[in-house]
Amino acid sequence: MPAPIRMIVVDIDGTLLPSSGTAISGRNCQALSDAQAAGLEVVIATGRRQAYATPLIEPVGLRRDTVMITSNGTVTRTLAGEPIDRFLLPVETARALCPALRRFGTMVFTFDREGPGELVLESLKTLHDRISLWVEANRPWIREIKPLERAFDGGEAPVQGMVCGGVREMRKAEKWLEASVYAPAIEVHRTEYPARDLTILDILPPGCSKGTALRRLAEQRGIEPEEILAIGDNWNDREMLEYAGQPVVMVSGAPDLVDLARGRGWQIAPGNDEDGVASIVESVLAGTRV
């Protein structure tokens, strides 16, 4: 019999959010609020940086001490911004990746600062052609620097790098990185949207992932993996799902991840457009009330 749930960890994009729009449904909001009110710890785990994620999460009505694992595990803070963990990609590594990855697509580096320059890239236009909605939503924080290597002239280390492009090109980039001299110095996480022919490769400090951030948090809380339910939809959620004793994958998620989940006997939730998160959380709460 599964252990009682003490912590629920939820991804945002493709999981909490619908396929279009940036508003979390009322049912999903209510389910998470109810879970927190019932004494379960609710954790948000996202590839987004905190400034990009917080406006989406605040309408849910969660407490300000709710933990947010952001930038795919490199930064952990509360919803109120209180720091818990942060890891940096060494300046030398980030600078060397600029010429190495330029042939694969447009790179973006994320710095843990507020305001313009939090996101640095070489060509706004090139990136806009690929992920226009992201560019428009993040324009106030973006600064163009050419060549991108100059972004590190001041010695500040980023928390995350990112390169995006078509599925095929990014698979090639991922394989190249895995075989490159940079492999021991970085962690690479893939988020793939085959229907849009879009893949995002996040380049993180070594050892960083949503899963490792979740493990540190759980150990601090004295919570066992078997007491954690994690819900995700894409490959950057894999480590988190593997750590949690009760993993759930959205049926609308990356098709090969859904296949993996079925093969491992993980629970499959309804799609993100069918309030799959709420469906799972409501079931958990119904069980705790018995």
Sorted by where each starts, the structural domains of the chain and their CATH numbers stand as 7-86+208-288 (3.40.50.1000), 91-204 (3.30.1240.10)
Residue 289: predicted pLDDT: 43
Q: Which residues of the chain have pLDDT under 70?
A: 1, 128, 288-290
Vertex 236, ends 43 and 258: CA angle to 5°? 100
Residue 56: predicted pLDDT: 96
Residue 128: predicted pLDDT: 66
Nearest Cα residue to 157 out of 191, 200, 197, 186: 186
The pLDDT tens digits for 34-86 are 999 999 999 999 999 999 999 999 999 999 999 999 999 999 999 999 999 99
Residue 105: predicted pLDDT: 83
What is the pLDDT of the chain when averaged over all its residues?
A: 94
Residue 1: predicted pLDDT: 60
Q: Enter the tokens of residue 162.
A: 């990112």
Q: Where are the alpha helices (DSSP H) in 102-164?
A: 124-130, 132-138
Q: Enter the tokens of residue 84.
A: 């818990």
Model-level pTM?
Answer: 0.93
